[in-house]
Structure 1
Amino acid sequence: MNMLTQQDTPIRKALEEQRHNRLAHFDVPGHKGGRGNKELRDFLGEECMRLDMNSMKPLDNLCHPVSVIKEAQELAAEAFGAKKAFFIVNGTTAAVQAMIMSACKAGEKVIMPRNVHRSAINALVVNGAIPVYINPGTNKQLGIPLGMSVEDVKKAILENKDAKAVLVNNPTYYGICSNLCEIVKLAHQYHMLVLADEAHGTHLYFNEDLPVSAMAAGADMAAVSMHKTGGSLTQSSILLTNNNVNSDYVRQVVNLTQTTSGNYLLLSSLDIARKNMVLNGAEMIRKTLGFSSYAREEINKLGGYYAFGEELIDGDMVYGFDTTKLSVHTRNIGLAGIEVYDLLRDDYGIQIEFGDIGNILAIISAGDRNLEIERLIAALSEIKRLHQKDKAGLFDHEYIPPHIIMGPQQAFYSRKVSMPIEKSEGRICGEFVMCYPPGIPILAPGELITRDVLNYIQYAKEKGCFMTGTQDMKIENICVVEES
């Protein structure tokens, strides 16, 4: 590796050299450094446009890296304690799908919690692997899905010894972690790979006061959403692999779906963000923890709200809690999370990550400022004073255990008919229905449509959740598997 250190950023260096070498560009992109699109250049800035280059020998090639991208990926692997790292420019969705598609073939089983991101079930639709779902625990007070119990994982493994892999959320969107070390031990006893969806866990690698990271726990692959909490540009991500995995095969699988036109703005941002996290991550996360801890305490003093944290830890379904997450339960003030989300944005100019039917989530980072934290706390206080009402009639749970009738691929590609959602009870769903964010399906292809699920969908629509997944953009009709 030419004696590179974590201080180096090989992709950035190569880009800067190209920018200054006065090349005449008879290659793509056609905007030619912004000269061909003045409005876009003025909007994004000349530097940005000139750095938007195509693969060429001095810049390496993302599909088959042999020089600067290879070096940057090696530095990332070292930073995250992995054997190999792959830069992903199709979002963490592509990293999750590459994990599943390289661990399982059509017809093979993968054990996973049902509260996975849609990207995991999308992978099953594409490659034909079969899910063995573990229902996560549920916190009755908060109505949120928790982690997987080790006992439930053990039971699923013993009943499905032919499964190829176990997928774990580390952490969930709300900050909840399963006992990853024990799950890894169990899975490895039965020669199964452990895949970690760390879309919300990049920072776990850079501070010892947080729950264990996937690579430190011995997991075989991890999808790390560098853009969420690691400081890179939106859509950039890293796929990590460990010793049990044929990384050259993983690269082939990544190349089945990843673009051949790797965006160098995204790639260089991964390079620079990795350096920043290695050099400054521990201190940045300490600052983040200070912000989130202060906000949690102040919000809990307001009454009515419940900003939950490490007190949920029970050694099992909540084995660890990521305290950088500011998750706040809102139902006791008589408002759904999505209603508080809308009020914060529309009346107070505050954009949070998401609101669901019982909670809101604010993503805190070292990029925040004291003034903004105080604005959030004050706004929540005002919302309570102005809008608090009786909580009667509010839904009290986020998670509904699914009834699986057929595999996701079989259902998605089956002959389907479209019908009004309210008349679909008892039919087999042929598509997805979800609130976004967080993008966890309420219904996935192959699942039975029950009255419980229909009531939830209707309630979420009434409260203003952003619903996605169906062919019908208005979410009034649903495609169901045609009855024979």
Structure 2
Amino acid sequence: MKELSQERAPVLEALNRYKSMRVVPFDVPGHKRGKGNRELTDFLGERCLTVDVNSMKPLDNLCHPVSVIKEAEELAAEAFGARHAFFMVNGTTSAVQSMVMSACKRGDKIIMPRNVHRSAINALILSGASPVYVNPGVHTDLGISLGMSLGDVKQAIIENPDAKAILINNPTYYGICSNLKAITELVHKHHMLVLVDEAHGTHFYFGRNLPPSAMSVGADMAAVSMHKSGGSLTQSSLLLINNDVSEGYVRQIINLTQTTSGSYLLISSLDISRRNLALRGDEIFQGVADMAAYAREEVNHIGGYYAFSRELVNGNTICDFDVTKLSIHTLDIGLAGIEVYDLLRDEYDIQIEFGDIGNILAYLSIGDRKLDLERLVSALSEIKRRYAKDKTGMLSQEYIKPQIILAPAEAFYAESESLPLEQSVGRVCSEFVMCYPPGIPILAPGEKITAEILEYIQYAKAKGSFLTGTQDSLVNQIRTIKER
């Protein structure tokens, strides 16, 4: 077996060897290395289509890797400080679901913040596990949800000593970090597993002066979106495991839902991006952090906007902040975040990550340039000049404490009926309602529909937020559990 070195990219090397062999393909995919679909080849390029291949002995198999994919996963584990790394091609959604399903069976309890991504609640529906929600802190001025306090986690453990695991968002979409080390140590004392949704924290493993990563503090599992800040192709991700978590069992859980036809475009992008970060990540993410600091200073000089950072740290619900994030509060110029988001796209051809009721997020990573940030700052300044108005009547609250009536799985599969939104107050929801991005549910299955929640939904719709999760694509109707 070849010696493992971060200079290597085993999957990339195997694909290049395969291309040089000029094999005649009588296997899938049917486009036959691009020859059968000229339009697709012209669009994506011949070099791309020639490596869109099927699993075979020289290229290994993602479901049961024994050679080049196995080597690539071992290199990823070493780079991220994990005991093992799984290549995921169904997105970080699949990684989060595999974490939860590995830790919990039907009827088991798992502690988690309510402001989780929908993938975590979907995992509860698939596994039949029951959530013990810890309400995150809320920053009332910014209207954003924060991390979990150590005290609230401790109380949840005391009240639910039979819980199997805790799931932690770190960082949040906005860059807020909980006290990951202290929570991990506390949870392990109670013999529970620590699972971390680290979708937005790939860079924590490589950059300097950034918050601690899940593996560095001893967490048991972490879902890492390499495609978000790590440079790999969309939908490619990693699931990291540590400590005594069984590699074989987790692989079985992954294979319940992950495709048996893993894309070598995605797999090789993970391999190539891991090598890039292992060799150059420190320098890369220092550059990203410097660009974000420059942009925050320039945005705050405009006035009316607030690009926030580590000054928010309170040692509890905000234990640290991801300084690569450019999160900007917009309400003081009288515009919702989603309105600024739309203006940037429609008027200035600038696509940011998302806008919500009170904030926007410009996602900075390895491909950004200072020149592009100057264009963003200039556009924000002009938006303030052209569109600013009185902020009276603006809704600011981003997190509404839910009333849990039933477990998500029970509510999702219960007999339900569709009602107009305005007639649903007091009923129990059997589906999701969320703004996407970020994909954090406003309502999840099993939660009571309140007047406050409906006001938020209607306000988000009026401001132009993209609402998803309901069977009704217009989100005028919502499915509720039938009352007997």
Please give the range of the TM-score, normalised by the shorter of the 2 chains: over 0.9
Distance 1:301 1:353 in 2: 22
How far has the Cα of 1:247 moved from its partner? 1.3
2:166 corresponds to:
166
Distance 1:20 1:46 in 2: 14
Deviations 1:218-242 (A, max 9, x none): 1000000000000100000000000
How far has the Cα of 1:417 moved from its partner? 0.3
Question: Alignment partner of 1:216: what SS?
Answer: helix
Distance 1:190 1:267 in 2: 37
Structural RMSD (CA): 0.6
Distance 1:256 1:396 in 2: 41
How far has the Cα of 1:367 moved from its partner? 1.4
Deviations 1:197-222 (A, max 9, x none): 00000000001310000000110000
2:49 corresponds to:
49
2:193 corresponds to:
193
1:31 corresponds to:
31
2:312 corresponds to:
312
1:342 corresponds to:
342
2:12 corresponds to:
12
How far has the Cα of 1:371 moved from its partner? 1.4
For 1:458-473, list aligned pairs within 5 A: 458-473=458-473
1:330 corresponds to:
330
Residues 1:261 and 2:277 are matched in the alignment? no
How far has the Cα of 1:20 moved from its partner? 1.2
Aligned partner letter, 1:103:
A
For 1:215-226, list aligned pairs within 5 A: 215-226=215-226
Contact 2:230–2:366 at 8 Å: present in 1 too? no
Aligned partner letter, 1:265:
L
How far has the Cα of 1:244 moved from its partner? 2.3
1:238 corresponds to:
238
2:449 corresponds to:
449
How far has the Cα of 1:368 moved from its partner? 1.2
Distance 1:331 1:457 in 2: 18
Question: Alignment partner of 2:50: what SS?
Answer: helix
Deviations 1:9-33 (A, max 9, x none): 0000001111110111100000000
Question: Alignment partner of 1:112: what SS?
Answer: strand
Distance 1:249 1:364 in 2: 36
Deviations 1:125-144 (A, max 9, x none): 11100000000000010000
Aligned partner letter, 1:441:
P
1:95 corresponds to:
95
Question: Alignment partner of 2:43: what SS?
Answer: helix
For 1:284-295, list aligned pairs within 5 A: 284-295=284-295
How far has the Cα of 1:179 moved from its partner? 0.3
Distance 1:232 1:48 in 2: 14
| Number of residue pairs the alignment of both structures matches | 484
Distance 1:46 1:393 in 2: 55
How far has the Cα of 1:365 moved from its partner? 1.8
Distance 2:388 2:8 in 1: 53
How far has the Cα of 1:2 moved from its partner? 2.2
Distance 2:73 2:326 in 1: 31
Distance 1:4 1:146 in 2: 40
1:180 corresponds to:
180
Aligned partner letter, 1:48:
C
Distance 1:2 1:193 in 2: 34
Deviations 1:169-194 (A, max 9, x none): 11000000000001111110111000
Distance 1:94 1:382 in 2: 41
Contact 2:229–2:366 at 8 Å: present in 1 too? no
How far has the Cα of 1:104 moved from its partner? 0.2
Question: Alignment partner of 1:131: what SS?
Answer: strand
Aligned partner letter, 2:461:
K
Distance 2:429 2:244 in 1: 36
1:132 corresponds to:
132
Question: Alignment partner of 2:429: what SS?
Answer: coil
How far has the Cα of 1:424 moved from its partner? 0.2
Distance 2:30 2:299 in 1: 51
1:410 corresponds to:
410
Distance 1:141 1:293 in 2: 22
2:3 corresponds to:
3
Distance 1:61 1:95 in 2: 18
The runs of 4+ residues in structure 1 deviating greater than 3 Å are: none
2:381 corresponds to:
381
Distance 1:189 1:246 in 2: 20
Aligned partner letter, 1:474:
L
Aligned partner letter, 2:417:
V
Aligned partner letter, 1:279:
L
Distance 2:71 2:298 in 1: 45
Distance 1:169 1:202 in 2: 13
Contact 2:208–2:286 at 8 Å: present in 1 too? no
How far has the Cα of 1:60 moved from its partner? 0.3
Question: Alignment partner of 2:153: what SS?
Answer: helix
Question: Alignment partner of 1:51: what SS?
Answer: coil
Aligned partner letter, 2:441:
P
How far has the Cα of 1:4 moved from its partner? 1.8
Aligned partner letter, 2:402:
P
Distance 1:327 1:264 in 2: 34
Aligned partner letter, 1:422:
E
Unaligned runs of 5+ in 2: none
Residues 1:361 and 2:356 are matched in the alignment? no
